[in-house]
Amino acid sequence: MPRPWDKLPLVIDVSVLRLLPLTLIGWLDHREREALAYLIEENRLLRRQSGGRRLS
């Protein structure tokens, strides 16, 4: 027995198509900011340990 929604045309809401890339971009931006914050802190700690000396 066919279901009533089987005959309905497939309609994709355009707002969903816009939301998906925006969500992905927001998540990637958040991950990038976390990685940068980690690297900045790691560099600060390494500079403190090396006494400010530059590596050759």
Q: What is the pLDDT of residues 4-28, one digit of tens each?
A: 767 766 777 778 788 999 999 999 9
What pLDDT is attached to residue 37? Answer: 97
- Over residues 31-44, the pLDDT tens digits come to 999 999 999 999 99
Instruction: Quote the CA–CA distance of 43 and 33 in Å, as a whole number.
Output: 15
Q: Provide the pLDDT for residue 3.
A: 76
Q: Please provide the size of the chain in residues.
A: 56
State how far the Cα of 55 lies from the Cα of 19, in Å rounded to an integer: 46
